[in-house]
Amino acid sequence: MRTSAINLLLVGILLLNLFMLGTSRIRALIQAAALQGVVLGGMPLLVSAHGGWRMALVALATVALKGAVIPEMLRRALREAQIKREVEPIIGFVPTMLLGAAGTLLAVAFASELPLEPQHRELLLVPASFSTLVTGFLLLTTRIKAITQVIGYLVLENGIFIFGMLLFEAMPFLVEIGVLLDLFVAVFVVSIIMHHISREFASLDTRHLASLKE
């Protein structure tokens, strides 16, 4: 019962991955990333059968940071920088979706090669984690705007978080909360930088950031 519920959520995350690669609106992208964060936040409650207040705290912090605080910061950056609302891809939407799908297939194949503990064999955590990592990488490398690259980085972090679920029972609290804290600090600094980029270049297009090269 628990296993099938987790797998259902993971399938939802995989669908969100494909949606994020295909969408042309930055707002929709932020929304999808936030939704993914909320789904992830609920996962510790399902994964760990006997959790206490510590686990509830991690779940709460994840939902608050990934679902509300960070998306709100991104939306504010979007508003203040007066960015055009379209995602500008270097590679088109359909090719990146196909790449994402291929990545998911490869992730499933690769995951089946890796030896898992008996209690994790029924779960889709490893393929979902790898597929989300691939999605994050694609968003990072094939989108032009700084803000979409930040979202790509967040999705990458989501993929890592999914893998972290495998270790949730064994892993000390400090490491988990460290992950969340660092995520927050990273995005905080990045949003300050985005503010400065938009002031200096009047846009968040990283093509302006091309004077430093050989």
* Candidate list 48, 140, 144, 203; residue touching another protein; CB under 8 A: 140
Q: Are 104 and 134 in contact (CB under 8 A)?
A: yes
Q: Does 168 bind another protein (CB under 8 A)?
A: no
| Nearest Cα to Cα of residue 92 among 148, 138, 159 | 138
* Candidate list 5, 68, 94, 185; residue touching another protein; CB under 8 A: 185
Q: Are 80 and 90 in contact (CB under 8 A)?
A: no
**160 CB burial (10 A radius; 0-12, 13-18, 19+):** middle
Q: Does 189 bind another protein (CB under 8 A)?
A: yes
**Closest approach of another protein to the CB of residue 164, in Å:** 6
In angstroms, the CA 206 to CA 186 distance is: 18
Q: Does 57 bind another protein (CB under 8 A)?
A: no
Residues that bind another protein (CB under 8 A): 113-115, 117, 133, 140, 146, 149, 153, 156-157, 159-160, 163-164, 166-167, 170-172, 174-175, 178-179, 181-182, 185-186, 189-190, 193, 196-197, 200-201, 206, 209-212, 214
